[in-house]
Amino acid sequence: MGSPHWKRLCLLLLAGLTSSLLLYGHYYATVELPPSQRIIASLLRPEPLVLAPSGTLRRAGSHRWALEGSLESGKSFKPSAELEEPKPSRKQPNTCVRSVMARAKADPKFGEMFRFDTPVLMWDQHFTPETWDRLKARHVPYGWLGLSHAVVGSTLRLLNASANRHLFDRDAFPGGCVRCAVVGNGGILNGSRQGKAIDAHDLVFRLNGAVIKGFEEDVGTKISFYGFTVNTMKNSLIAYEEYGFTQIPQAKDLRYIFIPSDVRDYVMLKSAIQGSPVPEGSDKGDKPQKYFGPEASAEKFKLLHPDFLQYLTARFLRSELLNTQYGSLYMPSTGALMLLTALHTCDQVSAYGFITANYEQFSDHYYELEKKPLVFYANHDMMLESALWRSLHRAGIMTLYQR
């Protein structure tokens, strides 16, 4: 009579013991991980990239703007990830072992500064209500404060080709490393005989008053990208006409990089793509074809992202000028923006014609017949830029031409 009861009791005890072991094992595996295992697990989780709420502009004093938080206090800046398309990926070829990305990540200082997942270019699918609401709070060039929703939107919607999303097509360079030269207009290039070295690069960036004729031996002839704001482009055509700069470069394979520093850039870009006269603003009636050629299509134009400009200024060129009466005017120079753009897209970068420690030995520009001293304007911090180029050169992240 007692045997069946004994068997049932044993079965119940065995089931209870099994359940306890299972529950304890589950608890230990999920909650009581050893500290080292918990740390490893947390490191393996991908960290989302979010926009720092301090990345806005505010009035600082009566006549200037300052980038709040990240530029004034030196707090870490997190670029925007609130893009409606996945961020442009930039995978380095395995064969390019001495790339900008590899060198930067290996450097204690610059490894913290570079964020290669920051969007470099802006195109049509970025223009959403969320992006508008965020960027309309920042002053140009870091946002769209005071700009018309219709103007910005109608311009961005025209940047709808795949070519507008990437600076260049990596598949066109199967050799491994994409080597880029960024050519400034500094007097150090006069008599340098660097033309062949410059042209030997895969891609060549030029900017503003890029005089070539008569200086081919020093600056080369190759040009892949021409970078500018409408203001710097027009001022260059006026200021350097006497040196032969009467037309910005034009070529079939040439691409134009717009720096959106003002509403003029958005308006001119839209008219350039549409092939029509500028309809409004200070450039009203101007014909973009005379600058970019008669067959300029959307594929020829690139627009730097305001978030990229914010990130560059906050992390690389946070100038003390922001705390002066000229704070509302300050932004990195066109040359600085082109060089930093190359450093975020190319595998290897060489800089020519940029300010060096011995700049006083050379003329302001390489095409000047008589030596003229370098002019320091209130809207740029050339000494800060010079220090940055030297630091990047010493770190082996780029090569700065010096003599």
3-class DSSP state of 230? helix
pLDDT at 326: 76
pLDDT at 328: 80
pLDDT at 324: 84
Residue 56 lies in a domain: no
Q: Give every CB contact of residue 387 below 8 A, 6+ residues apart in sequence.
A: none
* Cα pseudo-dihedral 393, 395, 396, 400, rounded to 10: 0
- Cα 107 off chain centre by: 19
CA dist list (Å): 97 to 101, 202, 397: 9, 17, 12
Residue 53 lies in a domain: no
b/e sequence 283-292, b meaning 16+ C-beta within 10 Å: beebebbebb
pLDDT at 5: 52
Residue 84 lies in a domain: no
pLDDT at 53: 28
Residue 181 lies in a domain: yes
pLDDT at 8: 53
pLDDT at 163: 93
**pTM of the full structure:** 0.77
For residues 396 and 312, give the distance between their C-alpha atoms in angstroms, rounded to a whole number: 19
Residue whose entry in the numeric block shows the structure tokens 């990345």? 55
pLDDT at 214: 95
Residue 221 lies in a domain: yes
pLDDT in tens, the chain (403 residues): 444 454 454 455 544 544 443 333 333 333 333 333 222 222 222 222 222 222 333 333 322 333 333 333 333 333 333 323 334 444 444 468 789 999 999 999 999 999 999 999 999 999 999 999 999 999 999 999 999 999 999 999 999 999 999 999 988 888 789 999 999 999 999 999 999 999 999 999 999 999 999 999 999 999 999 999 999 999 999 999 999 999 999 999 999 999 999 999 999 999 999 999 999 999 999 999 999 998 788 999 999 999 999 999 999 999 888 888 878 889 999 999 999 999 999 999 999 999 999 999 999 999 998 999 888 877 889 999 999 999 999 999 999 999 9
Provide the CATH number for the domain around residue 221.
Answer: 3.90.1480.20
Residue 25 lies in a domain: no
pLDDT at 290: 94
For residues 190 and 213, give the distance between their C-alpha atoms in angstroms, rounded to a whole number: 13
Domain that residue 224 falls in: 100-400
Check: CB of residue 300 under 8 Å from CB of residue 255: yes
Residues β-bridged to residue 181: 204, 350
Number of domains in the chain: 1
Check: CB of residue 236 under 8 Å from CB of residue 227: no
- Token pair for residue 376? 């320091």
Angle at 270 between CA 281 and CA 272, to 5 degrees: 100
Residue 90 lies in a domain: no
Residue 161 lies in a domain: yes
pLDDT at 64: 30
